[in-house]
Amino acid sequence: MSQSNLNSTKEKLIAERETLSRKLSRNDLSVDASETPDPVDLAVRNYSKNVMLAVSENESRQVVLINEALTRIADDEYGTCQNCEKEINPKRLDAVPWARYCLSCQELVEQNLLDED
């Protein structure tokens, strides 16, 4: 991958990471303990809390992937599949700049056939 492409990928990753951390910091999960909400209210609140937690988990995970991708750029390893070490399709990287694996290895990951470290 050319240096100018790498630079724009890096910018894209950093911008994406900023968006995610803003989202994550907005997810304030604290519940005011001084309130005594009725059970229905509480159930709704717990539900949305779970949804928010699930979302946060995804987003936190993505931040990790983005950080890894930035490290790979710094180490000159970007664009290489972390499993088979083949080059990841540039179109895939364009759509998913933080991709760790090539498409075939990603399929293995999704079927739990690959041990992720």
1 binds Zn ion (CB under 5 A): no
| Stretch of 5-13, 14-22, 49-57, 77-85 lying at the interface with Zn ion (CB under 5 A) | 77-85
Query: Of 70, 81, 93, 99, which one interacts with Zn ion (CB under 5 A)?
Result: 81
Q: Is 105 in the site for Zn ion (CB under 5 A)?
A: yes
Phi, psi (degrees; rounded to nearest 5) at 36: -120, 80
Which residue from 1, 84, 96, 108 is in contact with Zn ion, where contact means CB under 5 A? 84
* Integer Cα distance of 44 and 47 in angstroms: 5
Binding segment toward Zn ion, per CB under 5 A, in 6-14, 21-29, 39-47, 98-106 = 98-106
Kindly tell me which of 71 and 104 has the beta carbon lying closer to Zn ion.
104
Cβ proximity of 2 and 52 under 8 Å: no
Q: Which is nearer to Zn ion, 66 or 105 (CB)?
A: 105
Binder of Zn ion out of 69, 83, 93, 99 (CB under 5 A):
83
Look at residue 22 and give its three-state secondary structure: helix
Among residues 3, 48, 2, the alpha carbon closest in space to that of 27 is found at 48
d(CA 22, CA 41): 27
Which has the closest alpha carbon to 72: 17, 12, 6, 5? 6
**Residues in touch with Zn ion (CB under 5 A):** 81, 83-84, 102, 105
